[in-house]
Chains A and B, each alone.
Chain A
Amino acid sequence: MTAPLLSVHDLAKSFGGTRAVDKVSFDLAAGETLALAGLSGSGKSTVARMVMRLIEPDAGRIDFMGEDLTRHSGSALRARRRHIQMVFQDTNSSFNPRATVASALLDPLNTFDILPKPQRAHEVRHLLERVGLSPGLFDRSIHELSGGQRQRVAIARALASRPALIVLDEALSAVDASIRIDLLELLLDLQREQGISYLFIAHDLGMIRAIAHRTAILDAGRIAEIGPTQSIIAAPQTQIGQQLVAAAPRLFHVADQP
């Protein structure tokens, strides 16, 4: 059996006496998608940010590609960051609004020294095409793009460093439904082609079901249940799991009058 790409053990974090994350453990295989579901405040985004080392864990291990990431800092950590990228919900604040599409995508190529310099502009055009954008957007400002286009640029930027893992933190939650389907299909295509793993943070079970092989439901900083997404949705074992499944909007589910 091959070792998992990412293996998190007993991860813990408190903020001002409140346990935001309490002994969270899970594995993620290469080419697999694990969803972290839960309400706001359940700790799902804090777990994601600790995996990215944007937040320092109080305790626990984050084994990634065979090394404990919590032991690294500075340049050693930066070198490993190339293999883990993140896409956020709010593209307005994750990009410099005055930056052009080209500079946003050249940035990771330059930072991680990917490809010889003269080839990088060509690579940017290739990345744009790969995420379904016209290479003609090269010189556009990020703020001129629509929300859906900006999220595609964010995915292209995450791909630029050729990562093994992309952490998607509510990355599709704010885009319109018709665009959301296209982005989910794009993510699935990229995974099939490049074997990328996704840690997919969302509260919408419909979206999670469309993309995640397995799901962990977080509640008050702990994993309430974890398993294949289909089984969790078909037969949730915990109260929070049952509440989440019951609350997912269904077409034609006329509201019960209490």
Chain B
Amino acid sequence: MTPLLEITKLTVSYDGTTPALHEANLTVAAGERVGLIGESGSGKSTLALAIAGLLPRTARVSGSIRWQQTDTVPRKGTDIGYVFQDPAGSLDPVMRIGAQLAEILRVLRGKQSQLDVPELLARVGFPDPEIIAARYPHQLSGGQKQRVAIACALAGQPRLLIADEATSALDTIVQAGIVRLLSRLTADTGSSLLFITHDLALASTLADRLVVMRNGRILEAGTPREIIEHPRHPYVASLVASHLALEGPTLLETQREPAQ
């Protein structure tokens, strides 16, 4: 598999002393879907922001990021599309959806864009793109806004799509729909996906490979089967054990033994 992105010993510090990310090594192959899992403060978003070149200027960065086996860094928008947790924060509240997407297409692709607004909206699962294009963000539900944010990220036809807790604020049914959409889009376009979440089970539903982070470090990486059936690191094992399944004994039952 051709590496699309190769990260070597990447260290990031916001305050110059404590690293938010410590010597991270990660390779993402072309077309690969990587699930990046970590709890708050694990460094997963710092890693994603570093890849996308979105770190604040004051951050200290060392190590290397290689894009498509060259020493160039990926370009925002056209090489990498980024979807954030809060879609409302990525959309202009006083601009119609269609106008926002048209602007992104114009800036990113100029005249060579093969995509137009209705097609982009159809790709993210809107059966009636013209109606959505005429709406303002506040007229859409949370799930619809996140689909529009994904359409924005796709406008530049990126090789890598980063979804940073993109489904965390959504209901489970809407969340499952967005995960299916991301899965289908990456399969259709052959682009890679970096799916960032605190939810191990959710990541295991769509990733080819899982990467678990804690306290700024990558602890373990492997296929979902390897990570879930044979976790090597005790913390990864505890994450697997903390999954609240819909099968098997429940906490309520195992707690039934009388107190001492």
- Does residue A246 face the partner (Cβ distance < 8 Å to B)? yes
Q: Max chain B CB contacts within 10 Å: which of A177, A205, A213, A249?
A: A249
- Does residue A39 face the partner (Cβ distance < 8 Å to B)? yes
User: Residues of B contacting A176 with CB < 8 Å?
Assistant: 39-40, 198
User: Residues of A contacting B40 with CB < 8 Å?
Assistant: 147, 176
A180 adjacent to B183 (CB under 8 Å):
no
A249 adjacent to B201 (CB under 8 Å):
yes
| Closest partner residue, chain B, to A208 (CB atom) | B244
Give the contact stretch, choosing among A97-105, A106-114, A130-138, A184-192.
A184-192
Given the contacts A246-B176, A251-B245, A253-B205, A178 and B228 also touching, CB distance less than 8 Å: no
A39 adjacent to B244 (CB under 8 Å):
no
A177 adjacent to B39 (CB under 8 Å):
yes
Complex Cα gap A247–B199 (Å): 14
- Does residue A27 face the partner (Cβ distance < 8 Å to B)? no
Q: How many A-B residue pairs have CB under 8 A?
A: 113
- Give 16 A-B pairs besides A249-B202, A253-B201, A253-B205 with Cβ atoms closer than 8 angstroms: A39-B174, A177-B243, A181-B251, A184-B251, A188-B252, A192-B255, A203-B172, A207-B244, A209-B246, A211-B252, A230-B250, A248-B172, A251-B204, A251-B240, A251-B243, A252-B228
- Does residue B175 face the partner (Cβ distance < 8 Å to A)? yes
B205 adjacent to A209 (CB under 8 Å):
no
Q: Which of A213, A243, A251 is close to B200, meaning CB atoms less than 8 Å apart?
A: A251
Complex Cα gap A185–B253 (Å): 11
A39 adjacent to B171 (CB under 8 Å):
yes
Given the contacts A176-B198, A180-B242, A244-B172, A257 and B204 also touching, CB distance less than 8 Å: no
Contact pattern, B 216-254, Cβ under 8 Å of A = 1, otherwise 0: 000000001100100000000011101111100011100
- Does residue B118 face the partner (Cβ distance < 8 Å to A)? no
B244 adjacent to A209 (CB under 8 Å):
yes
| Closest partner residue, chain A, to B244 (CB atom) | A206
B206 adjacent to A255 (CB under 8 Å):
yes
- Does residue B19 face the partner (Cβ distance < 8 Å to A)? no
Complex Cα gap A248–B204 (Å): 12
User: Residues of A contacting B171 with CB < 8 Å?
Assistant: 39-40, 203
A40 adjacent to B142 (CB under 8 Å):
yes
A177 adjacent to B246 (CB under 8 Å):
no
| Closest partner residue, chain B, to A233 (CB atom) | B246
14 contacts between A and B (CB under 8 A): A176-B39, A177-B200, A178-B242, A188-B255, A206-B244, A207-B244, A209-B244, A210-B250, A230-B250, A249-B201, A250-B246, A251-B224, A251-B240, A256-B180
- Does residue A245 face the partner (Cβ distance < 8 Å to B)? yes
User: Residues of B contacting A206 with CB < 8 Å?
Assistant: 243-246
- Does residue B134 face the partner (Cβ distance < 8 Å to A)? no
| Closest partner residue, chain A, to B181 (CB atom) | A258
| Closest partner residue, chain A, to B179 (CB atom) | A255
- Smallest beta-carbon distance A181→chain B, Å: 5
- Smallest beta-carbon distance A19→chain B, Å: 18
- Does residue A254 face the partner (Cβ distance < 8 Å to B)? yes
Given the contacts A176-B40, A188-B251, A209-B246, A255 and B172 also touching, CB distance less than 8 Å: no
- Does residue B94 face the partner (Cβ distance < 8 Å to A)? no
Q: Which of A192, A209, A246, A251 is close to B228, meaning CB atoms less than 8 Å apart?
A: A251
Q: Which of A193, A233, A252 is close to B204, meaning CB atoms less than 8 Å apart?
A: A252
- Does residue A63 face the partner (Cβ distance < 8 Å to B)? no
User: Residues of A contacting B251 with CB < 8 Å?
Assistant: 181, 184-185, 188, 210-211
- Does residue B131 face the partner (Cβ distance < 8 Å to A)? no
A192 adjacent to B259 (CB under 8 Å):
yes
Q: Max chain B CB contacts within 10 Å: which of A177, A244, A247?
A: A177
User: Residues of A contacting B183 with CB < 8 Å?
Assistant: 255, 257
- Does residue B187 face the partner (Cβ distance < 8 Å to A)? yes
- Does residue B184 face the partner (Cβ distance < 8 Å to A)? yes
User: Residues of B contacting A204 with CB < 8 Å?
Assistant: 172, 244
- Does residue B173 face the partner (Cβ distance < 8 Å to A)? yes
Contact pattern, A 134-151, Cβ under 8 Å of B = 1, otherwise 0: 000000000000010000
- Smallest beta-carbon distance A205→chain B, Å: 6
User: Residues of A contacting B184 with CB < 8 Å?
Assistant: 257-258
Contact pattern, A 217-258, Cβ under 8 Å of B = 1, otherwise 0: 000000000000010010000000001111111111111111
User: Residues of A contacting B176 with CB < 8 Å?
Assistant: 246-247, 249
